[in-house]
Copies of this chain bind each other. A is one copy, B any other.
Amino acid sequence: MFKKIEGGVCAPKGFRANGVHCGIRKNKIKKDLALIVADAECAAACVYTKNLVKGAPILVTQKNIENGFARAVIVNSGNANTCNEGGEEIAQQMCRLVEKHTGISAEDVIVASTGVIGQKLSIEPIANGMKELVGGLGNNSTAAAEAIMTTDTVKKEIALEFVIGGKVCRIGAICKGVGMICPNMATLLMFVTTDVNISPEMLQKALSADVVDSVNMLSVDGDTSTNDTFAILASGLAGNEKIDSENTDYSLFCTALHEVTTALCRMLAKDGEGATKLLECRVSGAKNKTDARLAAKSVISSDLFKSAMYGCDANWGRVLCALGYSGADLDVRKIGVAFRSAGGYLSVCKNGMGMDFSEEYAKTVLSADEISIEVSLNDGDFEATAWGCDLTYDYVKINGDYRT
């Protein structure tokens, strides 16, 4: 149904992108300024962090997409433009620079920043970098994906092709993590483009529904960032009949969006700060969807369990413990736990009690770089999946001296 294609955010019709080094970051080989522009007005939707401490760019973006439309996204890395003086004015200046260099109205610009909190963001390097940034606009999703990276070790982008009402549609995305990740209605920075024709209302509905089972089920360290922003732009250039109700076209679009966001969640978790392993917890048999989500997220958020996975230790007691304090309604005597990876499948707990297993085989299963933890609550028909990573020395190292 969905075909992977190249191009990232530039794969859908009507979008160009670029990323450059403008000088916010001292390291000249690290890009720090990204721009995505649409050839025509787009339906736009956003979700933001629920942290009460919000980055200044979020306040500006909220105003700019109030009418449901936007045409550009400008993002810098290296400075979060948060908890500093004049941050909102700087964010507005970034939008005005886009207007000056592209002709797109400043009020049609989504603006985001990521990096250190509490330091003044200077507009000079951004102003100086705009000519190169705009001059290079084209099929450069990768440059944009690179320019929004902070402690990410790999760029994250994806694009899919699918058909709605006989029309070929595309959806593409870039995003960045990878610390301070426990999104609440959004992940750190995720930007999705599509050429699907859809109303702003249905686009926002699709986005708000999606995050509950995608980015909100992701945790690297339990810290909800101040700058989380997940924006989506829909150009409508695919030419499908406009989606303006919850019809089958809408469902198909939601499925495509979910394919993209869950793939990005897996990338984000796998590249979690210091991580050596992607952890995916699949909970089934829950009494309801909320309990399934609570249980899955609790397991992948447990520092104890994350440390055990780093050590390839099949300490399933940590899983039971995390389920027990998750807040989910469950019956311990019914719980089953198994580990699955490219290395094999290992059942470790049945009816809430331990099973005999070979420690040697357990090491083989847990030595893989993607581990699935399968939890059966055997108490209902609902399921959920959450993504996380192991906790390692390097997480501590990276964050012991983040600012320098």
Contact = CB atoms under 8 A, between A and B. Distances in A.
Interface in A295-314: 301-304, 307-308, 310-311, 313
B353 A51 contact: no
Interface residues of A, number: 62
Given A85-B353, A332-B83, A304 B400 contact: no
A116 interface: yes
A259 to B, nearest CB: 29
A218 interface: no
B51 A118 contact: no
B311 A399 contact: yes
Instruction: Name the residue in A184, A221, A223, A391 with the highest tally of chain B Cβ atoms < 10 Å from its Cβ.
Output: A223
Instruction: Name the residue in A50, A84, A224, A396 with the highest tally of chain B Cβ atoms < 10 Å from its Cβ.
Output: A396
Given A118-B353, A396-B392, A400-B310, A222 B320 contact: no
A400 B82 CA distance: 36
A129 interface: no
A334 to B, nearest CB: 12
Interface in A372-404: 391-393, 395-404
A85 B303 CA distance: 27
A365 to B, nearest CB: 15
Nearest to A120: B354
B304 A180 contact: yes
Nearest to A329: B52
Contacts of A402: 304, 307-308, 311, 313, 315
A399 B391 CA distance: 10
A132 to B, nearest CB: 30
A203 to B, nearest CB: 27
A349 interface: yes
A123 interface: no
B223 A322 contact: yes
A52 B83 contact: no
Contact of A304 (B332, B397, B399): B399
A342 interface: no
A86 B4 CA distance: 53
Contact of A303 (B117, B119, B223, B311): B223
B400 A321 contact: no
B396 A396 contact: yes
A80 B324 CA distance: 15
Given A304-B399, A392-B396, A400-B310, A83 B320 contact: yes
A5 interface: no
A77 interface: no
Contact of A354 (B119, B223, B225): B119
A224 B325 CA distance: 6
A234 interface: no
A53 interface: yes
A51 B319 CA distance: 12
A300 B322 CA distance: 20
Contact of A349 (B83, B301, B318): B83
Contacts of A401: 311, 313
Contacts of A397: 393
A125 interface: no
A117 B317 contact: yes
List the 4 closest pairs (A to B, CB-CB), nearest first: A311-B400, A117-B317, A53-B324, A307-B399
13 contacts: A50-B325, A51-B321, A54-B324, A85-B353, A116-B317, A117-B320, A117-B321, A224-B325, A226-B320, A226-B321, A310-B400, A313-B400, A313-B401
